Amino acid sequence: MRAHAKCASVLPNSYAGANDDLDARPGLAQTAAEAMAVAEMFAAHPGMRDRAASVLRKYGCATMPLTTNDADRTEYWRRVVDHYVVNQDEEFDEDQPFYVIDLCRVIVQMAKWRKNLPGVTPYYAVKCNPSDALIDMVHALGGSFDCASVGEFTQVLGRGCGKPGDLIFANPCKMASQMKQAHAAGVHCITFDNETELDKIAKYMPEARAVLRIRTDDSAAVCAFSTKFGCPVPDAGRLLALARDLGVRIVGVSFHVGSGNNDPAAYTNAVRNARRIFDQGAQLGFDMKLLDLGGGWPGTEPRQGPDGKPDSLSFEGICAHIRPLLAELFQGVDVIGEPGRFFAASSYALAMSIHSTRTVSTTAGDEHQFYTTDGLYHSFNCLFFDHAHPDLHALRPDVENPLQVTTIFGPTCDSLDCILKKAEFPRLAVGDWLFVPDFGAYTVAAGAPFNGFATRRTKYVASLDL
Ligand SMILES: Cc1ncc(COP(=O)(O)O)c(C=O)c1O
């Protein structure tokens, strides 16, 4: 890795002169566009390239740039995982799953963020994946942090990734003990959505800069939050008046449209509602200067639906709806977002092997059952908690053989621990490897070592040559 190389070198050399090829292969064209966005970001922010390169060095990232031979990102992950399976180091154990972490995806995503939401500061939602490496990289690129607990802000501050005043404690219902610790630590920017919380803020966090979280229409979201958090918009005036009476300083409005929200109106209505609440606040004497657009921003590209059309909104598509509204309604206001999956999802791939197998005869024919080394209790907890649909691949599918009815279980003794149920899948055998591309969001974050199984090994790579 060259810490002081020029911007253009971010674009892998193998792309040079490959324009015809890129036009014919949209996945590659997108990769080239991403690399150009990174080059533009580095050019606009002196020192950022060196800071990012030093994080890559700190984690010993192996430089493995994407090339025109990688038909798309899945093929890139396949090549990288295969590299570690073939070139086994002394830690390698065929029964131990591992993560490959590409810290350059954080760089690419930051470049996309800055291009599509200029002037909006990303506060990485640590809950999504509290990896030290992701936190360090977000910090190196000028991002800040959304922390949901004392544990999270202690981790961030302990790493030297910002000052207490830079964070947002964005958990609308906080324990009194945590509020006291936040106050003592100087973490003053917090969210709330009800009267009781306002009383607690007045009591435990007299210096708080409070942000009112409002309810959104998240009926089109994959993960909805409005049943748990968010003040109904018509109630906002009453809460603001109470805050004034209690002497609580209200500095802004936040919302979260839910993750995977496919309705652009959810975002635009929330922004318009926030404007109305800013105006109500001004009438009550509050100087509101912070708009928090929340999380939910997609971290991967939309998949192709059965009709050939994208099955969800793209990040760029969402931003195209929001940008003009921010320009129209929120001039002179600090605008932030709380992206979690946006940074974490595409930074990780999981690799795991098949350790056991059996075939079960059913009236419908043979069902081929396999047992792998990570499962529902660890990385695949996202099947439950994040409504995820992981994209499982055989590392080296046998293209000569037909697909067969396959069930894949995780390593624990629970029959619920199943990650693929009676689906057509390439023929597998004991010792084969599987991989899951773009698997960094809400995977390790909530994984439990149930039955003593967990994915602990990591390999760091850099898909850009800085
Ligand atoms: C308050 C808040 N902000 C941000 C996020 C991050 O959401 P995502 O990872 O979908 O961007 C969450 C997720 O639960 C959240 O609750």
Say which CATH number the domain at 283 has: 3.20.20.10
Q: Give per-residue pLDDT as tens, 344-385.
A: 999 999 999 999 999 999 998 999 999 999 999 999 999 999
* Boundary (domain end) residue, out of 326, 344, 362: 344
Average pLDDT over residues 3-30: 48
Q: Give per-residue pLDDT as tens, 407-434.
A: 999 999 999 999 999 999 999 999 999 9
* Boundary (domain end) residue, out of 296, 319, 344: 344
pLDDT at 396 exceeding the cut of 80: yes
Q: Which of 124, 259, 261, 385 to mutate to test the pocket of ligand 1 (most atoms within 8 A of CB)?
A: 259
Average pLDDT over residues 88-99: 94
Residue 382 Cβ < 6 Å to ligand 1: no
> 233 and 178 in one domain?
yes
pLDDT at 235 exceeding the cut of 90: yes
Q: Give me the pLDDT at residue 4, please.
A: 31
- Which CATH number fits the domain that encloses residue 448? 2.40.37.10
Q: Give per-residue pLDDT as tens, 433-443.
A: 999 999 999 99
> 381 and 315 in one domain?
no
Task: Reduce the secondary structure of the chain to three states and give it as a string.
Answer: CCCCCCHHHHCCHHHCCCHHHHHHCHHHHHHHHHHHHHHHHHHHCCCHHHHHHHHHHHCCCEECCCCCCCCCHHHHHHHHHHHHHHCCCCCCCCCCCEEEEECHHHHHHHHHHHHHCCCEEEEEEHHHCCCHHHHHHHHHCCCEEEECCHHHHHHHHHCCCCCHHHCEECCCCCCHHHHHHHHHHCCCEEEECCHHHHHHHHHHCCCCEEEEEECCCCCCCCECCCCCCCECHHHHHHHHHHHHHHCCEEEEEECCCCECCCCHHHHHHHHHHHHHHHHHHHHCCCCCCEEECCCCCCCCCCCECCCCCECCCCHHHHHHHHHHHHHHHCCCCEEEECCCHHHHHHHEEEEEEEEEEEEEEECCEEEEEEEECCCCCCHHHHHHHCCCCCCCEECCCCCCCCCEEEEEECCCCCCCCEEEEEEEECCCCCCCEEEECCCCCCCHHHCCCHHHCCCCEEEEEECCCC
Asked whether 136 and 58 are in contact (CB, 8 A), the reply is yes
Q: Give me the pLDDT at residue 10, please.
A: 52
For the chain, the domain total comes to: 2
Query: CA nearest 444: which of 381, 371, 372?
Result: 381
Residue 375 counted as domain residue: yes
Q: Give me the pLDDT at residue 29, please.
A: 72
Of 121-130, 135-144, 175-184, 393-402, which range is least confident?
393-402
Cα(340) to ligand 1 centroid in Å equals 6
Q: Give me the pLDDT at residue 1, please.
A: 34
> 264 and 158 in one domain?
yes
Structure tokens at 14: 């193998």
> 356 and 332 in one domain?
no
Cα(295) to ligand 1 centroid in Å equals 4
> 328 and 399 in one domain?
no
Residue 26 counted as domain residue: no
Asked whether 238 and 292 are in contact (CB, 8 A), the reply is no
Query: Residue 217: which residues within 8 A CB-CB, separation 6 or more?
Result: 226, 257, 263, 265, 266, 269
> 253 and 358 in one domain?
no
Rounded-to-integer distance, Cα 302 and Cα 91, Å:
36
Q: Give me the pLDDT at residue 20, please.
A: 47
The overall pTM is greater than 0.75: yes
Residue 40 counted as domain residue: no
The share of the chain scoring above pLDDT 90, in percent, equals: 81
Q: Give me the pLDDT at residue 325, please.
A: 97
Average pLDDT over residues 217-228: 81
Q: Which of 313, 338, 386, 442 to mutate to test the pocket of ligand 1 (most atoms within 8 A of CB)?
A: 338
Q: Give per-residue pLDDT as tens, 97-115.
A: 999 999 999 999 999 999 9
Query: Residue 248: which residues within 8 A CB-CB, separation 6 or more?
Result: 198, 201, 202, 208, 210
Q: Give me the pLDDT at residue 25, please.
A: 56
Query: CA nearest 378: which of 350, 407, 348, 344?
Result: 350
Q: Give me the pLDDT at residue 19, please.
A: 46
Task: Give the range of the structural domain holding residue 340, as residue numbers without chain letter.
Answer: 104-344
Average pLDDT over residues 156-167: 97
Query: CA nearest 359: which of 299, 311, 308, 404?
Result: 404
Residue 23 counted as domain residue: no
Average pLDDT over residues 318-343: 97
Catalytic residue at 319? Answer: no
The CA-atom distances, in angstroms, between 217 and each of 117, 212, 264, 322 are 22, 16, 11, 16
Asked whether 110 and 131 are in contact (CB, 8 A), the reply is no
CA dihedral 143, 144, 148, 153 (to 10 degrees): 120
Q: Give me the pLDDT at residue 170, please.
A: 98
The share of the chain scoring above pLDDT 70, in percent, equals: 94
Residue 54 counted as domain residue: no
Residue 207 counted as domain residue: yes
> 326 and 371 in one domain?
no
φ/ψ of residue 209, rounded to 5: -110, 100
* Boundary (domain end) residue, out of 296, 313, 344: 344
> 299 and 216 in one domain?
yes
pLDDT at 7 exceeding the cut of 90: no
> 133 and 224 in one domain?
yes
Average pLDDT over residues 82-109: 96
Nearest CA to ligand 1 atom 9: 340
pLDDT at 8 exceeding the cut of 50: no
Average pLDDT over residues 326-333: 97
The CA-atom distances, in angstroms, between 161 and each of 3, 78, 128, 184, 451 are 21, 32, 17, 18, 35
> 334 and 354 in one domain?
no
Per-chain mean pLDDT for the chain: 92
More confident residue, 386 or 5: 386
> 325 and 231 in one domain?
yes
Q: Give me the pLDDT at residue 3, please.
A: 31
Q: Give me the pLDDT at residue 261, please.
A: 82
φ/ψ of residue 21, rounded to 5: -60, -40
Residue 215 counted as domain residue: yes
pLDDT at 120 exceeding the cut of 50: yes
pLDDT at 218 exceeding the cut of 90: no
pLDDT at 331 exceeding the cut of 50: yes
> 261 and 141 in one domain?
yes
For residue 9, the number of C-alpha atoms closer than 13 Å in the C-beta half-sphere is 11
Atom of ligand 1 lying closest to residue 148 CA: 1
Residue 146 Cβ < 6 Å to ligand 1: yes
Residue 16 counted as domain residue: no
Categorize the per-residue pLDDT at 27 as very low, low, confident or very high, splitting at 50, 70 and 90. Answer: low
pLDDT at 340 exceeding the cut of 50: yes
Q: Give me the pLDDT at residue 2, please.
A: 33
pLDDT at 169 exceeding the cut of 50: yes
Residue 338 Cβ < 6 Å to ligand 1: yes
Residue 341 Cβ < 6 Å to ligand 1: yes
